Amino acid sequence: MVFEHLLPTSLVEQKHWLGFILAAIYSTISIVIARLLFPANSGLVSVVFVSIFLIPYFKTLLKRDEQRERAEKGFSFKRLLADNSEMIKVYLFVFFGIYLTFMLYSFVAPTLGYDVGSIFREQLSLESLRGNAFSFASLTNILMNNWWVLLACFLVALVAGDGALFFIAWNASTWGTIFGYRAIAASSVDGSSAIFTLLLIILITGPHVLIEGLAYILAAIAGGVISDEVDNPDELRSFLLYFLGSVMLYIVVFLVAKMVFDLLASTSPLFWWLTDFGIGMFAIVTALVLLWLMRLVFTNEGDKMTFKYNYWLFVVAVCVFIAGAILETFVLYNSGTLERIYTAAAMFG
């Protein structure tokens, strides 16, 4: 597109904030095109278009990340962060560009007479959980929901390189749309200032949105760089066989473990935590073990080093996502202000 020439990847990598501008422009174009051509599913299609427009930038960035890691002589967490810092910054600016653009349009659209529920139907169908108190059960529920998103983000990146950009754009658009719409809806019911309500939502939810968004970004980078290093026929054949075998094994092991854990939990109250939390931890640990064994696919030393860096980047992503889930649970189940806003918004229309 024209913007690829006006704002080349090298410039975006140097001036990270340009990623925000790009995301805002592409989001606006995508929303308009999706609404005109696919009105029945414009919310979902708009995210597809955003992803397609941004893919060329991230394809180049992923290649540069791989080259930096391949040149490393040894592993260190300091170098892990340094090698990926540029990519992470660009991703974050793009994430918040999409997030705030969708928030703005969902916030403004009702005042202009547009039906937000029709324009962003898919996003609004995924309204966040809410309640009154922090609980172990609610944490487990959010933890598992976020884990499957994180794993899907990583696996899509692993097989399609920059394909995980869709998951990141989808989450950014969903959060932005829900928060923008709930602010205008709540203010219409309780008579409060819509802008003030929106600012409250942003301040309350901002920390966990940032942390969870960062986790998905790290997972996408890790999967994308590993995918990009599979560059010869022998490695590709071994990679595909291992990947398909691991996915099938993971599904079987997960289902069997769930049955065993449920059985143990039903036999004694001492094992109550195994039902949800136990299987959740088992799912995470099993995925990390299977991923670590994937290193055997690579024979080239440069490829091995790149894989090691991105395996640990995914481990960091898992740790970040767990922290984000804990914070999200605390906020959603302890913020009286957010509960009041969401309750008022539910009465709208």
Region 134-157 average pLDDT: 80
- The residue among 167, 178, 148, 154 whose CA lies nearest residue 50 is 167
| Tokens, residue 274 | 């195994």
| Tokens, residue 285 | 């640990």
pLDDT at 165: 86
Q: In the predicted model, what is the mean pLDDT of the chain?
A: 83
* 115 touches 248 (CB < 8 A): no
Using one digit for the tens of pLDDT, what is the confidence trace for 31-42? Answer: 999 999 988 888
Question: How far from 82 is each of 10, 22, 95, 254, CA to CA, in Å?
Answer: 17, 24, 20, 35
State the Cα–Cα distance between residues 285 and 328, nearest whole angstrom. Answer: 22
Domain count, the chain: 1
**Residue 117, C-beta contacts closer than 8 angstroms, at least 6 positions apart:** 124, 349
| Tokens, residue 9 | 């990847």
Question: What is the residue range of 326's domain?
Answer: 2-346
Q: Within a 13 Å sphere around the CA of 162, how many CA atoms are in the beta-carbon half?
A: 19
Instruction: Residue 150: count other Cβ atoms within 10 Å of its Cβ.
Output: 27
- The residue among 179, 156, 178, 180 whose CA lies nearest residue 167 is 156
Confidence label for 126 from pLDDT (cuts 50, 70 and 90): confident
pLDDT at 9: 63
Least confident of 82-96, 169-183, 224-238: 224-238
pLDDT at 134 over 50: no
State the Cα–Cα distance between residues 70 and 63, nearest whole angstrom. Answer: 11
Question: What does the radius of gyration of the chain's CA atoms come to, in whole angstroms?
Answer: 21
Max CA-CA distance within the chain? 65
pLDDT at 241 over 70: yes
Least confident of 97-111, 149-163, 310-324: 149-163
- Highest mean pLDDT: which of 17-21, 74-78, 219-223, 237-241? 219-223
Region 239-253 average pLDDT: 89
Single-letter residue type at 324: G
- The residue among 60, 341, 69, 35 whose CA lies nearest residue 204 is 341
* 102 touches 123 (CB < 8 A): yes
Confidence label for 238 from pLDDT (cuts 50, 70 and 90): confident
Instruction: Residue 277: count other Cβ atoms within 10 Å of its Cβ.
Output: 17
Region 265-273 average pLDDT: 65
* 166 touches 152 (CB < 8 A): no
